[in-house]
Amino acid sequence: MSKPAARFLSLDVFRGLTVCLMIVVNTAGPGAKAYTQLVHAPWFGFTAADAVFPSFLFAVGCSMAFAFSRPIPTNEFLAKVLRRAALIFLLGFLMYWFPFVKKIDGHWALIPFADTRVMGVLQRIALCYMLAAFAVRWLSPRLIVALSAVLLLGYWAILMTLGDPAAPLSKLGNAGTHLDLFLIGQNHLYRKDGGFDPEGLLGTLPSTVNVLAGYLAARFLKENPGSQSAMARMAIAGVVLILAGLAWSPLFPIAKKLWTGSFVLLTVGIDLVLLAALTKLLEGRDPNPGTYFFQVFGLNPLVIYLFSEIFVIVLGMIQVAPGVGIYEWVGVNIFQAMAPGAFGSLLCAVAYMLVCWLLGYVMARRGIVVKL
């Protein structure tokens, strides 16, 4: 018989796998270009790296199926959701502001708020979590599916009608960029994409569907524990959504940065197939060293993600040569010397991911689980 603790081992492994891959993608080793599949598509198109963030949102939705399973008063629910969303948003903002100071003419000065990015990965997670939590609280599964359709089709309509008529899906011509420039301002947007912010406000709408899909998937698993037919239905649903996303793509191209509806269908479909496969492989079995590796990431995903982003900045600030930080030096002088090219870049990223895992391992051994 399976142990209760291992009943949803697949969800723990899925969440941990997502965090693990996110770190590898975000911290590619310097000195060489990373493998194409580990780099986000420049605009239209799809790579393995593009599946990571939507899978993280999907995992957030999976957690909701358990976090909101016990009935609580509306006031307590609202306070819990708004507090958690605000904390995650604030942490994301502070992460982009870090290290808060910089050298100007040889003197340290505070990085002004006016030059700090407002939106970002954690900020999008916070907003999607909040919107999805409200939907989960007051809507039935069928209405959640209907809401998801409205969000995807509505987002499509907004982009096609309110963007630049000549280029409604371009980086600077889409309606989302117009909204960000109007509400947030150029100086508070992402600096590396020509004024376009891939985690802008309008993209929160379709991104929320990834969270809602994760909630529905985890709820489905809870209601059908150990059912082989349920896993098969989940996998089939995933394949159908993948095909639907591909069929929609000629009209609404697959684009992670724009978070198009076809991208949502494709990534949700991939996550459903993957979760069904993990459920088939892992449920009813005890955890083993392989699954424990990913469980460590899944216990404190936000803490480990924050650490991975901040620590690599710190390593870049500590210079071992003029203009060369520790991470760059290690990537070039050790990993590129060991394995030149993309493989060396990957090895460096994996090594850094293992350092982040070590933090999670220490926290897990000491029973530390940070819940915002």
Residue 110's φ and ψ, nearest 5 degrees, are -65, 130
Q: Cα(328)–Cα(182) distance, rounded to whole angstroms?
A: 37
**Band of pLDDT at residue 195, cut at 50, 70 and 90:** confident
pLDDT on residue 298: 86
Tokens 């948003």, located at residue: 89
Q: Cα(64)–Cα(217) distance, rounded to whole angstroms?
A: 11
* pTM listed for this prediction: 0.91
**Band of pLDDT at residue 116, cut at 50, 70 and 90:** confident
Question: Average pLDDT over the chain, rounded to whole?
Answer: 90
- DSSP secondary structure string, 296-350? HHHHSHHHHHHHHHHHHHHHHHSEEETTEEHHHHHIIIIIHHHSTTHHHHHHHHH
Residue 159 token pair: 């982009």
Nearest to 249 by CA among 241, 259, 260: 260
65 with 219: CB under 8 angstroms?
A: yes
211 with 132: CB under 8 angstroms?
A: yes
b/e map of 300-335 (b: 16 or more CB within 10 Å)? bbbbbbbbbbebbeebeeeeeeeeebebbbbbbebb
Tokens 């954690």, located at residue: 122
Q: Cα(19)–Cα(353) distance, rounded to whole angstroms?
A: 9
pLDDT per position as a tens digit, 4-43:
333 588 888 999 999 999 999 999 999 999 999 999 999 9
Domain parsing of the chain, residue ranges: 1-39+286-371, 51-282
Q: Which of 2-6, 131-135, 329-333 has the lowest mean pLDDT?
A: 2-6
